[in-house]
Amino acid sequence: MRGMSGIFGKKQVMLAVLVVALGVAVYLNYYFSSQNPLTAEADTSTSKSGNLGDAKFVDNPSTVTTGTKDNQNTSDYFIQARKNREDARQEAVDIIRDLMNNAKASQETQEKALAKAAAIAAAVEQESKIESLVKAKGFADCVAYIEDDKCNIVVRSDNLKDTEALQITEIVIAQSDITADNVKIVTVK
């Protein structure tokens, strides 16, 4: 019995490390995506008496777009954001794979790891569809971040209109189980 409790403790520690690593990876992706000084946030949260299309915008008056250099910086931003997201996901998937392949892991631990891997795969697919559909609406670039029941969208736009925010929110709702009040839209000029 003593040996079983030692293994059980290690499995629990491994599962905790997996959950913490995934949480840190998602937080870092969100943190780095929101650190760009060229961003302004559009909050599409609904109030108690509000409607889905009632978006609130916070403008960044210091944002100035001039010439090719800023366009290059914005392109670099989207490239780096996607790379950061994929690196963090790959790290989480590697941890999950190690846990699933651990012969000493209990059936329950392996099932939880498999469920987490399935959730990551679903998020990747949803993010890809959302990004493609947002670009199809005429936006130059877009990056989506899905974590649990929340979605953050970073979109290239000089001036996001209420109708455009509504379109983006509707795309997220159609492609996932995320509600409108859990969709945040950030613009990058």
Which residue has better confidence, 27 or 133?
133
d(CA 179, CA 170): 9
The pLDDT, as a whole number, for residue 108 is 86
Phi-psi domain of 146 (left: phi exceeds 0; alpha: psi -120 through 50; beta: other): beta
- Helix ranges (H only) for the chain are 2-33, 67-101, 107-136, 162-175
Instruction: Write out the CATH class of domain 2-60+73-188.
Output: mainly alpha
Report the range of poorest mean pLDDT among 2-11, 16-25, 44-53, 103-112.
Answer: 44-53
User: What average pLDDT score do residues 15-35 get?
Assistant: 63
Per-residue pLDDT tens for 32-88?
655 543 433 444 443 334 455 444 444 433 333 334 455 566 678 889 999 999 998
Which residues 6+ apart lie within 8 Å of 144 measured at CB?
A: 126, 127, 130, 131, 134, 151, 152, 153, 154, 172
Which residue has better confidence, 166 or 35?
166
The pLDDT, as a whole number, for residue 92 is 87
The pLDDT, as a whole number, for residue 112 is 86
Phi-psi domain of 176 (left: phi exceeds 0; alpha: psi -120 through 50; beta: other): beta
- Given a cut of 70, whether residue 21 has pLDDT beyond it is no
Per-residue pLDDT tens for 99-153?
888 878 888 888 888 888 888 889 999 999 999 999 999 999 999 999 889 999 9
Residue corresponding to tokens 């189980």: 177
The pLDDT, as a whole number, for residue 72 is 65
- Given a cut of 70, whether residue 156 has pLDDT beyond it is yes
- Given a cut of 50, whether residue 167 has pLDDT beyond it is yes
d(CA 179, CA 183): 7
DSSP, collapsed to helix, strand or coil, labels residue 36 as coil
The pLDDT, as a whole number, for residue 63 is 36
Q: List the 142-147 sheet strands across, edge first.
A: 56-57, 39-43, 183-188, 150-156, 142-147
